[in-house]
Every structure is written in structure tokens, then in C-alpha cells.
């Protein structure tokens, strides 16, 4: 994978304050965004929660301002079914005061250049009112794809429509969503197990996205060109599509939370080109013991080399890999490797990788596209079912495991992707998309133009 150094600019000095959400898939790309803006001449300040804090010494040219987040006390507030909306709402509520104080102090810091804008994760919905009251423009960062934003906005509507009462036996379960014909009703249902709470939370987020001064996506134009038009109607705020952000600077994967294992690289180097399946379900998704065992049986039966990331705590009720089927390791022998965490971008760029079995997180999907690695999709929740549907049915750069993690389905899909003609077609389509990413970064390309217009916008008229 090639990276693109943005042209450095000595713009009139301004500060930009960023406030990322403390989870790997949001913090990583926002730090990349900060690095890109730094190359454009801005001074960077990162306000961050104490939870999962970035490693300050990796960014000597940034100023970091940790704020109290109340996370140490979260155990006393746990609902019965904690979901992403619970955690992020908690964070919003417990960061509100410390964030306001921190921002207010930064705005009046003596001998510092003016603050041009605040960029927060879109899901920090409390920050809009605070920014308004302190008269600083807020631009939001959206860490997922574009369709997910629209579907999230409509989640309460889908809840009212009764989608979440449907079961696999109902005929409506398999049909298309009228408002989003590419999506199936079951994809929407998989977004959340607590749709009422999630819908209310997302409604708050979207209201504040609409009230913001602009929105930045970690994406490029091509995959979602059609939906971008709907978006300009529904969210009439300036939009910047300057991704995939990881294409810019030649930085390694940002590891905030997990320690990387690199010991498997000598094994990977010894594998034939495009022969290995790389399996990873991201930084948050959890699977049941029986799903874990089905993956293991699938990997045993297919007889293809694999590198499998099993995070500690990923399997419900297990520390790590205790519940692997008996004899798994013996049967697999040197054909496979299990690691706790790896430098994923480096792995995907490796010649030996032939396919990426992913949970369809947005960062992972973009990374797969940038390296032209066809995907098998096993989405868990939130945006993943939507992304997986697009990967498989719209962009046709991967195959969705429609029936979840189950060994026969796994074997069939791996065969289609790694051995059949269908797999070759998928590989050539993802390579075309990869080429489109490269074009978007060339002189005059869409991502480059979007970065320039973001910088111009940030500098225009404010302060």
C-alpha cells in the first residue's frame, strides 16, 4: 500500500482543537486527521478522556489536555444490557463540565494563536451547545460510512415501524428496506439489541450533527457517490470526504489499547502469495463460545493457512482461547497462527494474505479496500451489518456470511472466495476500487480537493 504525503503549507498560524472518542476505531482516524491538519500549518490540541488515552509521546508536536471522564465510577451506573449508546451517553454526560472548562481555558490562553475551530467526534453530542456558548465553530468527524449515518438517523422510525419485533420466521425479515433498497430489514435489526435506547441516543447525535458547522468523513467519494446527494439534502451542512485518512501519512497502525504481537511475521513471510486467510473481528466485537468454536471448526476443515486475531475477552465467558475445540492446535499445526492483536495494516499489505475475514468495521473495510484484499463479512452490530451488505451486494468486493458463524456456511464462503471464479471477480473489483482510492489522492483527485476545501473553510471568516 502506498501512502500519500500531503503537501505542507505554512498557513497563517491557527489552533485546531480536536476531541476524539476513546475507542480504537474512532481515536485512530481522528489522530490521523490531526496529523494531516498539522501538515497544513495548524497547531494541534487534543482534548481527550482519561479512558483509553492516546500515547502522548507518539505525537510530540501535539498538545494534549486530558479531562475527567467519570469512567472509574461507571460500574455503579451499569444498566442490565449495557450497549454502545449507554457508554457514549455516559461519557457525554460525565465529560460535559470538564470539557467546557478545558475549552474555555484554551480559548483565552495568552500568547497563543486564535482557535480556528473545534473538531469533535460526531457522537460527542454535548459539545455543540458548549461550542455555541463559547462561540467556537464545531465541525464533526463521522467515523463510519455515509449510509450508516442516514440509517442511524432513522433508527427510531424503524423502531416505531416494528422492525425490531420481527423474527427470522417473518417474511419481512428478509425483504429490502423501502427507504434504502440496498439494505435488508434484517440488516437494520442487527444494528442494535436495545433499539429504543439506541434510537433516542442517535436522534440526539443527529440533531447536533445538523447544528454543526460541517462534517468530515473517513471515506472517499466513489463508493457512496449516490447517497452523498441524499445527504446534501438531509444534512445541509458543508461536507468533506477526504479519506481514507490512513492513506495520508506513512504511520503504522495506531495502537492505543492493545499491545501488538509481531512474532508471526517470519511464519507469514514463508507462506505462498495470496494463500492466507486473515481473521479479525476488530477491537470491540464479542462472540459466544459456540460461535468461536464454529470459526475454529471452519478453519480446521478448510485446510487453508490462517492468521487469527483473538483479543483477550473477545469470547464471552472466556479469558482467551481456553474453549478451542480439543485437538484444534494439534490438528492445525503450523498451518495457522492465533495472536491477541497484530499490526493489521501491515498484515493486510503482506503478499501472503489472500482474504480478510472481518467483522466489517469501517476502518477494517477501508484498510481491506486500500490493499485490495477481498473480504468475508461477519458483522456484529452498529454500522457493521450495513457496511457488510454494501461490501457484498453493492460494491461486490466480498461475501457476507448470511447465517452467522456456522462451520458449513464458513466452508462454502471460503471456497467461493479463495478457490472459485467468483473469488477472482471479487478480487478484480476490489482492485478497481483500490485504484479509485489512488486516483482520489492524485493531483485534482476528490480526496485531495476535499482536504484543500476543508483547510480553506476552516480559515475562512472565523477569527
Residues with catalytic function: 26, 121
Q: For residues 437 and 372, what is the distance between their CA atoms, to the nearest angstrom?
A: 10
Residue 244 binds ligand UDP (CB under 6 A): no
What residues numbered 366-395 form the site for ligand UDP, per CB under 6 A?
A: 367
The one among 32, 145, 218, 283 contacting ligand UDP by CB under 6 A: 283
Residue 361 binds ligand UDP (CB under 6 A): yes
Kindly compute the dihedral angle of the four CA atoms of residues 227, 387, 201, 92, in this order, to the nearest 10 degrees. -110
The one among 337, 345, 389, 427 contacting ligand UDP by CB under 6 A: 345
Residue 280 binds ligand UDP (CB under 6 A): yes
Query: Which part of the chain contacts ligand UDP (CB under 6 A), choosing from 100-108, 146-154, 269-277, 357-365?
Result: 357-365
Burial class (CB in 10 A: 0-12, 13-18, 19+), 400: buried
Residue 219 binds ligand UDP (CB under 6 A): no
The one among 256, 284, 376, 386 contacting ligand UDP by CB under 6 A: 284
Pick between residue 177 and residue 309 the one whose CB is nearest to ligand UDP: 309
Beta strands in 26-69, from DSSP E residues, in sequence order: 43-49, 63-67
User: Cα dihedral sign for 152, 153, 154, 155?
Assistant: positive
363-374 burial by CB neighbour count: b if 16+ within 10 A, else e?
bbbbbbbbbbbb
Q: For residues 10 and 350, what is the distance between their CA atoms, to the nearest angstrom?
A: 36
Compute how many other C-beta atoms are within 10 angstroms of the C-beta atom of residue 351.
Answer: 13
Secondary structure of residue 189 in the 3-state scheme: helix
Taking the complex as a whole, the smallest distance from the CB of residue 15 to ligand UDP amounts, in Å, to 27
Write the binding mask 303 to 322 for ligand UDP: x where contact by CB under 6 A, - elsewhere. ------x-------------
Pick between residue 310 and residue 418 the one whose CB is nearest to ligand UDP: 310
Angle 421-440/407-418 helices, nearest 10 degrees? 70
Secondary structure of residue 374 in the 3-state scheme: coil
Taking the complex as a whole, the smallest distance from the CB of residue 226 to ligand UDP amounts, in Å, to 23
Strands 176-177 and 180-184: antiparallel
Pick between residue 134 and residue 349 the one whose CB is nearest to ligand UDP: 349
Which residues on adjacent β-strands are paired with residue 376?
357, 399
User: Cα dihedral sign for 245, 134, 131, 109?
Assistant: positive
Query: Which part of the chain contacts ligand UDP (CB under 6 A), choosing from 96-104, 359-367, 417-425, 451-459?
Result: 359-367
- Residue 405 Rama label (left phi>0; alpha psi -120 to 50; beta): beta
Pick between residue 126 and residue 284 the one whose CB is nearest to ligand UDP: 284
Q: For residues 216 and 170, what is the distance between their CA atoms, to the nearest angstrom?
A: 38
Write the binding mask 21 to 60 for ligand UDP: x where contact by CB under 6 A, - elsewhere. ---xx--x--------------------------------
Pick between residue 197 and residue 359 the one whose CB is nearest to ligand UDP: 359
Residue 46 in grid coordinates: 487534543
Cis? peptide before 158, omega within 30° of 0: no
Residue 341 binds ligand UDP (CB under 6 A): yes
What residues numbered 249-268 form the site for ligand UDP, per CB under 6 A?
A: 253
The one among 363, 378, 446, 450 contacting ligand UDP by CB under 6 A: 363
Name residues whose C-beta falls within 8 Å of residue 135's C-beta, 6 or more positions apart in sequence.
none
Taking the complex as a whole, the smallest distance from the CB of residue 309 to ligand UDP amounts, in Å, to 4
Pick between residue 137 and residue 361 the one whose CB is nearest to ligand UDP: 361
Pick between residue 47 and residue 256 the one whose CB is nearest to ligand UDP: 256
Residue 362 binds ligand UDP (CB under 6 A): yes
Residue 282 binds ligand UDP (CB under 6 A): yes
Residue 300 binds ligand UDP (CB under 6 A): no
Q: For residues 143 and 389, what is the distance between their CA atoms, to the nearest angstrom?
A: 18
- What are the residues binding ligand UDP (CB under 6 A)? 24-25, 28, 253, 280, 282-285, 309, 341-345, 361-364, 367
Amino acid at each position: 500500500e502506498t501512502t500519500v504525503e500531503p503537501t505542507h503549507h505554512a498557513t497563517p498560524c491557527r489552533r485546531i482543537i480536536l476531541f476524539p472518542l476513546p475507542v480504537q476505531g474512532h481515536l485512530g482516524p481522528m489522530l490521523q486527521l490531526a496529523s494531516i491538519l498539522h501538515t497544513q500549518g495548524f497547531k494541534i490540541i487534543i482534548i481527550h478522556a482519561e479512558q483509553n488515552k492516546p500515547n502522548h509521546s507518539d505525537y510530540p508536536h501535539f498538545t494534549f489536555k486530558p479531562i475527567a471522564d467519570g469512567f472509574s465510577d461507571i460500574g455503579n451506573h451499569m444498566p442490565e444490557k449495557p450497549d454502545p449508546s449507554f457508554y457514549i451517553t455516559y461519557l457525554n454526560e460525565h465529560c460535559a463540565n470538564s470539557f467546557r472548562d478545558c475549552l474555555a481555558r484554551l480559548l483565552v490562553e495568552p500568547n497563543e494563536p486564535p482557535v480556528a475551530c473545534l473538531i469533535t467526534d460526531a457522537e460527542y453530542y454535548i459539545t455543540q451547545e458548549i461550542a455555541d456558548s463559547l462561540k467556537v465553530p464545531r465541525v464533526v468527524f463521522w467515523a463510519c460510512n455515509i449510509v450508516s449515518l442516514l440509517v442511524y438517523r432513522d433508527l427510531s422510525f424503524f423502531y416505531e415501524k416494528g422492525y425490531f419485533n420481527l423474527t427470522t420466521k417473518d417474511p419481512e425479515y428478509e425483504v429490502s428496506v423501502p427507504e434504502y433498497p440496498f439494505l435488508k430489514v434484517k440488516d437494520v435489526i442487527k444494528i442494535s439489541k436495545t433499539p429504543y435506547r439506541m434510537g433516542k441516543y442517535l436522534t440526539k447525535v443527529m440533531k447536533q450533527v445538523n447544528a454543526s458547522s460541517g462534517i468530515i468523513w473517513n471515506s472517499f467519494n466513489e463508493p457512496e457517490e449516490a447517497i452523498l446527494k441524499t445527504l446534501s439534502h438531509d444534512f445541509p451542512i458543508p461536507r468533506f470526504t477526504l479519506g481514507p485518512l490512513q492513506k495520508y501519512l506513512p504511520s503504522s497502525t495506531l495502537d492505543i489499547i492493545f499491545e501488538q504481537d509481531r512474532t508471526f511475521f517470519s511464519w507469514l513471510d514463508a507462506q505462498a502469495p495470496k494463500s492466507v486467510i486473515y481473521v479479525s473481528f476488530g477491537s470491540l466485537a464479542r462472540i459466544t463460545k459456540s460461535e468461536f468454536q464454529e470459526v475454529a471448526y471452519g478453519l480446521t476443515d478448510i485446510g487453508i493457512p490462517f492468521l487469527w486475531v483473538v483479543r483477550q475477552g473477545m469470547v464471552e465467558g472466556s479469558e482467551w482461547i481456553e474453549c478451542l475445540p480439543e485437538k484444534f492446535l494439534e490438528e492445525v499445526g503450523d498451518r495457522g497462527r492465533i495472536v491477541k492483536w497484530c499490526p493489521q495494516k501491515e498484515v493486510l499489505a503482506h503478499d501472503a494474505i489472500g482474504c480478510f475475514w472481518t467483522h466489517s468495521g469501517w476502518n477494517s473495510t477501508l484498510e481491506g479496500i486500500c490493499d485490495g484484499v477481498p473480504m468475508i463479512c461477519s458483522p456484529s452490530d452498529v454500522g457493521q451489518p450495513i457496511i457488510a451488505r454494501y461490501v457484498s451486494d453493492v460494491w461486490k468486493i466480498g461475501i457476507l456470511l448470511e447465517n452467522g458463524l456456522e462451520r458449513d456456511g464458513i466452508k462454502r464462503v471460503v471456497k467461493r472466495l479463495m478457490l472459485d471464479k467468483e473469488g477472482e471477480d471479487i478480487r478484480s473489483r476490489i482492485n478497481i476500487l483500490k485504484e479509485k482510492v489512488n486516483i482520489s489522492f492524485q493531483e485534482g483527485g476528490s480526496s485531495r480537493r476535499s482536504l484543500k476545501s476543508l483547510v480553506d473553510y476552516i480559515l475562512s471568516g472565523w477569527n
